[in-house]
Chains A and B, each alone.
Chain A
């Protein structure tokens, strides 16, 4: 199934050059006798938004960590921008469920932190103008010198988006970025995320538990199943861009959600 998914992707004429390529990525934890990932093939094309969805323990977190270079695969190839991923990379931007802003740094200092770690304090200061532009992009203009304690959960996640984008990464890896927010903020932030991604022509990869979230944001939704973790289907989402929250009430949206839910339910509890 995963091979077929890859075939569908590569034969799509609308898509552009591949940015991130995984082939036959396998992860086994021999001591615990766990087969976390089994021959996962995945190609992210420039400017595309993909999501992976699956039940807990289906290996999607392992997949994301391998893609981020935090874990090494047992077998397979992981290539980003033509170079194999062997560890954390500067051209990978990541976002987690928690914003993880540091309370002793102002918002703008938090945003330029990746630059400070990479190139030092002077380089970070030189990036303040870029950071300000990003803050404006996510609607946080004027909050540059505010400490994170004073930001709401949604505002903190916007700042985290800026921090992820400041290094101009080739790919964005999003690990359930808004799942700690309330439902209304979450939907709103998803639309903000789409707007930011479209504005920056970003390549994004989202891990989520929420089928509607995956559908409303993505061009392709990968359905994963556990034991062993594998991609069983790549669902192309043909809703037009830019997506709006109103689309969530359309029959097409409902049909896609139902289809994915069906794929998950059938074998999820076997």
Chain B
């Protein structure tokens, strides 16, 4: 990205200076480059549709999507059926996430803390995790019906595994020195878990939560696609079946706002509870 260059004074060899060159594109402030990229993408999209390179049924113009975003917003703000659908999906996501967190954390502790869990339970969890979890959707519908319960179940089912893995990995994160220190202090197993392993593992736990928060959204929408109901996923399905692609796009954009706020909430929690840990790898720091 940056090129160093030698500027040489021919008369004085001692006067050789290294100058670092940063390309102009790396100097643009982040906000400006993000906005510019967005505008370029939308412009390209608009041009492609205007030149009729793509059928308008397959890909609507950005202006159509923008217009639809507005009408969906109007519907949401007026408290019409879309708000109800959004509320339904948010409930599924919320309950699914809570259930996944509780089950994921408990199983994570079982697997991470006990030899029995590690030896006997973990292989089964890995086996289930490798299954295509979406394939369970018809089963959940059969067991729990077409109401939100089956969607909550699928959402929780998908989100549980990363939380299990995060929790279990976190419990193994405490280093040998710290464990030895706790041993020399005569700490009980419970004290070691509460005062050493859980706090040390919090960053891993939150990484699991973040991955889970993405999965829970996918689970809820998939559940609605496959099991009907009254949520946003159902609206998308109906719009798509009527080839109303602008509507599909705008609904997806509003859905992504829900997912993004859940992710942001988890990130905020992480910052609050893992205040000592500087997480630079997370996309949420954007």
A interface vs B, CB < 8 Å? 68-70, 87-90, 92, 94, 96-98, 100, 102-104, 113-114, 116-118, 147, 149
Check B184–A70 contact: CB distance below 8 A: yes
Check B276–A103 contact: CB distance below 8 A: yes
Kindly report which residue of chain B lies nearest to residue A94, judged by CB atoms: B184
B interface vs A, CB < 8 Å? 175, 177-178, 180-187, 191, 195-196, 199-200, 275-277
Name the B residues within 8 Å of A90 (CB-CB). Answer: 186
Cα separation A113 to B200 with both chains bound (whole Å): 15
Name the B residues within 8 Å of A117 (CB-CB). Answer: 182, 185-187, 191, 195
Question: In angstroms, how far is the closest chain B Cβ from the Cβ of A189?
Answer: 18
Cα separation A117 to B177 with both chains bound (whole Å): 17
Kindly report which residue of chain A lies nearest to residue B187, judged by CB atoms: A117
Question: In angstroms, how far is the closest chain A Cβ from the Cβ of B105?
Answer: 18
Check A100–B178 contact: CB distance below 8 A: yes
Cα separation A90 to B177 with both chains bound (whole Å): 18
Check A103–B277 contact: CB distance below 8 A: yes
Check B187–A102 contact: CB distance below 8 A: no
Check B180–A118 contact: CB distance below 8 A: no
A-B interface contact total, Cβ < 8 Å? 48
A96-B177, A96-B181 known; 12 new pairs, CB 8 Å cut-off, are A68-B184, A70-B180, A87-B186, A88-B183, A88-B186, A90-B186, A98-B177, A102-B196, A102-B200, A103-B276, A116-B195, A117-B191
Check A147–B276 contact: CB distance below 8 A: yes
Check A70–B183 contact: CB distance below 8 A: yes
Interface residues of A: mostly helix, strand, loop or mixed? loop
Question: In angstroms, how far is the closest chain B Cβ from the Cβ of A78?
Answer: 15
Of the candidates A88, A94, A104, the one whose C-beta lies within 8 Å of that of B199 is A104
Kindly report which residue of chain A lies nearest to residue B181, judged by CB atoms: A100
Name the B residues within 8 Å of A70 (CB-CB). Answer: 180, 183-184
Cα separation A100 to B178 with both chains bound (whole Å): 6
Kindly report which residue of chain A lies nearest to residue B191, judged by CB atoms: A117
Kindly report which residue of chain B lies nearest to residue A98, judged by CB atoms: B177
Name the B residues within 8 Å of A104 (CB-CB). Answer: 199, 275-276
Given contacts A103-B277, A104-B276, contact A92 B177 (CB under 8 A): no
- 26 A-B pairs with CB atoms under 8 Å apart are A70-B180, A70-B183, A87-B186, A88-B185, A89-B186, A90-B186, A96-B177, A96-B180, A97-B177, A98-B177, A100-B177, A102-B196, A102-B200, A103-B276, A103-B277, A104-B199, A113-B185, A114-B185, A116-B195, A117-B186, A117-B187, A117-B191, A117-B195, A118-B185, A118-B186, A149-B276
Cα separation A87 to B177 with both chains bound (whole Å): 17
Name the A residues within 8 Å of B195 (CB-CB). Answer: 113, 116-117
